[in-house]
Amino acid sequence: MKQHFRSVVAHACLSSGALLMLIPLAWMILTSLKTFTEVYREPPVWLPQKPMWSNYVEALTSFDFALYLRNSLVVVILAITGTFLSSAMAAYAFARLRAKGKEAFFILLLSTMMLPAQVTVIPVFRMYVSFGWINTLYPMFVPAWLGVNVFAIFLLRQFFASIPQDYVDSARIDGASEWAIIFRVFVALSKPAILTVIVFTFMGSWNDLWTPLLFVHDQQLYTLPLALFCFLSKTIGVRGVQWELMMAASAIVIIPLIVVFFFSQRYFVEGITMTGLKA
Amino acid sequence: MFSRKTKEALCGYLFIMPNLAGFLAFTLLPVAASLLLSFTNWDIFNSQNSEFIGLRNFTSIIGLKLRTDNMTGLTDWLCFWNHLHANDPRFWQYLWNTFFFMIGIPLSMFGSLALALVMNTKLRGINFFRALYFIPTIAAGVAMYQLWRWLLNPDFGLLNQLLSVVGINGPNWLGSPLWVKPALIFMGFWTSIGGYNMLLYLAGLQGIPPHLYEAADIDGASNWQKFRNITWPMLSSTTFFIVTMSLIGAFQGGFDSLYVLTRGGPAGSSTTIAYYIYQKAFEQYYMGYASALAWILFIFVFAATLLNWKFGGRRVHYY
C-alpha cells in the first residue's frame, strides 16, 4: 500500500514537472501556428483560431532553408565521420596498444579540456587565414578528423578498456589486421558508446554557432544556427517582429534534433552513464 | 622483420597520429602563439605595426591606480582603497558577472539531484520521462534561445503574461540590468535540470548497494537520515565530478546564449569574461589584449579546478 502511494506521488511529481518543462516548447509550436494579430493579442490566446500551417511554408521560403540545410548536413556528416574514425583509432591505441609515452599523452589530452577555447581561437583564426580557410566550410569539420574531440576519445577508451583481451588475441590468431580489430571487434561491441559519440557530435555541430560566426562571412555558406540568428531581423515587419515566422523556423531546426535523440536515447543514456562511473 | 612488440608500438603511434597532428595544430601551437601574443599589441590586419609591449596588456586589464591628486588628510590615506581606480573597470564588472552566473550551478545541481531521486523509485515509464526532461539539453541552440527571447518579451512574452494573471507586472527581463542575470540563470536551470547531471546522479543512485538501506531500515532510520548518511556520501564522487565540470563550464561557456539573447547587455550587465574576449578579439580586433584576457581566464579555471580538488576532493567518499 505504502509502495503504491509513493509511486503515485512520484508519478504526479514527474508529470507536473514534465508539463512545466514542455510549456516553453509547446508555446513555440502554438506561436508558430498563429496569425500576426493573435501573437500580439492581450490577454494571450492559447490556441490559434485556425492553425496557420502556411507560416511554415512562408518561413521555409523566405529563409532559404534548403541552402542552409545543405550546408549544415555537409558539415554534420563530415564532422561525425571524422570524429568517429579518429576517436575510434586513438581510443583503441590508448586502451590496448603498448607504446611508450602514450599514457603521458593521454593525460595531456585530457587536461586540455580545461583550456578555454578563447585561449586558442585567435592563433587558430590566423592559421585559417593563411590556409585560405576563412569563408569556407573547412573550419567546421576538419578539426573533427584530427581528433580534437577529447571527450569522444575518453568515452570510447573507457568502453574499449572493458572488452576482454581474449577477443583481441583470438582475432589476431585468425589473422585479423589491427584495423579490422578496431572496426569489426571493438566498434561492434561498443554500440552505446559509438552512438553516444555520434549523437553528441551531431548535436554539437548542428547547434554550432561559434565556428561559422567567426570564420564565415558569405551568407551562401551559413549553416542553420547562424542563418536562424540572422533570420530574426528579416522577420521584422512594419508592425514588429513576426514571431510566428521566427518560431516556425526555430521549430524546423529543433525537430530533427529531437527525432534523432528519441531514436537513440536508450543507448545514449547508457553511454553517458559510463563516463560518470569512471570519472 | 619487426618484433611483435615493435609492430604493436608502431601501430599505436600510427593510430594516434591524426590526433597528435590535431593536438599540435589546434592546441599546442595555438597555446604557445597565444601566450606570445598576449605580450604584444598584435593587429591582425596590419602585423607590421605589432610590437612587443611586455606586461602592458596584463597591467591594463588587472591594474589598479592610486589617484593621489585629491587625497588630502590622513583619513584619505588610511582609506586609500576609496581612491583606487581600475585601469579597465569593465574587466572587474564582467568578472563579477561571471561569478554571479555561478549561482546557477548549485541550483541546477540540487534540482537534478531531486529529479534523480524521484526518478529512482522504480517507476514505470521512466525511460519516457528521462527522455522528456532531456529535451531542453539537446535543443540548446540558436532556435531555443530565440524561443526564450520570445518567452521573455516584456509585453507579449509568455512569462509576463502568466505573471500578470497573478497581478504581477513583470519586468523587461532582457532589457533590465537588474533582471537580465536572473532571467538567464532561470533559462539555464530549465535547460540543464534534466540533462547530464541528472543522468549522472541517476547512475550514481543506481550504484548504491541496497543492503545499506536495508540495514538503515532495521535501525529505524528516517528518510532524511538515510539521505544524509547514505545517499549523499555515496554520491560524493558524482557531486565532485559535476561541480568540477560545471565550474569549468561556467568560466568558458555561455557564449551562444549571450550572443543571441543579450549581446552582453544591457550596459554590459550580462557580459562574462568569455564574452568580453570575443568582443575584444573579433569586434574590436585587439588581439593581444584578448589573448591576455584569455590567459587570465585560464588562470581562473585552473585555480578553481585546483581548489576544488584540494577541498572538495578530500570529502569524496570512495567505496
* B 157-176 → A contacts, CB under 8 A: 158, 161, 164
Q: How far apart are CA B288 and CA B52, in angstroms?
A: 10
B157 φψ region: left (φ > 0), alpha (ψ -120 to 50), beta (else): beta
Flag whether residue B275 sits within 8 Å of chain A, measured between CB atoms: no
Going by pLDDT thresholds of 50, 70 and 90, the confidence category of residue A14 is confident
Ordered by start, the domain boundaries in chain B are 96-315
Ordered by start, the domain boundaries in chain A are 61-278
Residue among A119, A173, A230, A270 with most chain B CBs within 10 A, to mutate: A119
φ and ψ at B143, to 5 degrees?
A: -60, -45
Flag whether residue A253 sits within 8 Å of chain B, measured between CB atoms: yes
Flag whether residue A271 sits within 8 Å of chain B, measured between CB atoms: no
Q: What's the farthest any 2 CA atoms get from each other in chain B?
A: 87
Q: Which helix (H) or strand (E) holds B85?
A: strand B84-86
Asked if the Cβ–Cβ distance from A120 to B26 is below 8 Å, we say yes
**Mean pLDDT within A260-270:** 80
Read off the C-alpha cell for B262: 543579450
* A 107-126 → B contacts, CB under 8 A: 108-109, 112-126
* H helical segments located in chain A: 2-32, 36-39, 54-62, 65-96, 102-111, 117-131, 138-145, 150-161, 165-173, 178-180, 187-189, 191-206, 210-215, 224-234, 243-278
- CATH topology for the A61-278 domain: MetI-like fold (1.10.3720)
Read off the C-alpha cell for A135: 569563408
Asked if the Cβ–Cβ distance from A7 to B123 is below 8 Å, we say yes
Express each pLDDT in A240-257 by its tens digit. Answer: 788 888 899 899 999 888
Q: How far apart are CA B173 and CA B181, in angstroms?
A: 9
- % pLDDT > 70, chain B: 97
Chain B: give the shortest CA distance to residue A62, in Å.
17
pLDDT of residue A278: 44
Going by pLDDT thresholds of 50, 70 and 90, the confidence category of residue B184 is very high
Going by pLDDT thresholds of 50, 70 and 90, the confidence category of residue B57 is confident
Nearest CA in chain A to B9: A99
Express each pLDDT in B109-165 by its tens digit. Answer: 999 999 999 888 777 778 888 888 888 988 888 999 999 998 998 888 888 888 888
Express each pLDDT in A158-186 by its tens digit. Answer: 888 888 888 888 888 888 888 888 888 88
Q: How far apart are CA A23 and CA A131, in angstroms?
A: 46
Asked if the Cβ–Cβ distance from A119 to B291 is below 8 Å, we say yes
Asked if the Cβ–Cβ distance from B147 to A213 is below 8 Å, we say no
* B 34-53 → A contacts, CB under 8 A: 34, 37, 44
- Which residue carries 554557432 as its cell? A209
Residue A119: partners with Cβ closer than 8 Å, 6 or more residues away: B30, B31, B34, B291, B294, B295, B297, B298
Check if the beta carbon of residue A204 is closer than 8 Å to that of residue A80.
no
Q: Does domain B96-315 have CATH number 1.10.3720.10?
A: yes
Asked if the Cβ–Cβ distance from B31 to A258 is below 8 Å, we say no
Flag whether residue B291 sits within 8 Å of chain A, measured between CB atoms: yes
Express each pLDDT in A182-240 by its tens digit. Answer: 888 888 888 888 888 998 899 899 999 999 999 999 989 999 999 989 888 777 777 77
* A 190-209 → B contacts, CB under 8 A: 203, 206-207, 209
Asked if the Cβ–Cβ distance from A273 to B278 is below 8 Å, we say no
Express each pLDDT in A37-86 by its tens digit. Answer: 887 877 777 888 888 888 888 888 887 888 999 999 999 999 999 999 99
Check if the beta carbon of residue A105 is closer than 8 Å to that of residue A165.
no
**Nearest residue, CB atoms, B141 vs list A7, A225, A261:** A225
Nearest CA in chain A to B194: A21
Chain A: give the shortest CA distance to residue B229, in Å.
21
pLDDT of residue B317: 63
**Mean pLDDT within B52-68:** 83
Express each pLDDT in B242-260 by its tens digit. Answer: 888 898 889 987 889 999 9
Asked if the Cβ–Cβ distance from B119 to A114 is below 8 Å, we say no
Flag whether residue A104 sits within 8 Å of chain B, measured between CB atoms: no
Chain A: give the shortest CA distance to residue B89, in Å.
21
Check if the beta carbon of residue A205 is closer than 8 Å to that of residue A76.
yes
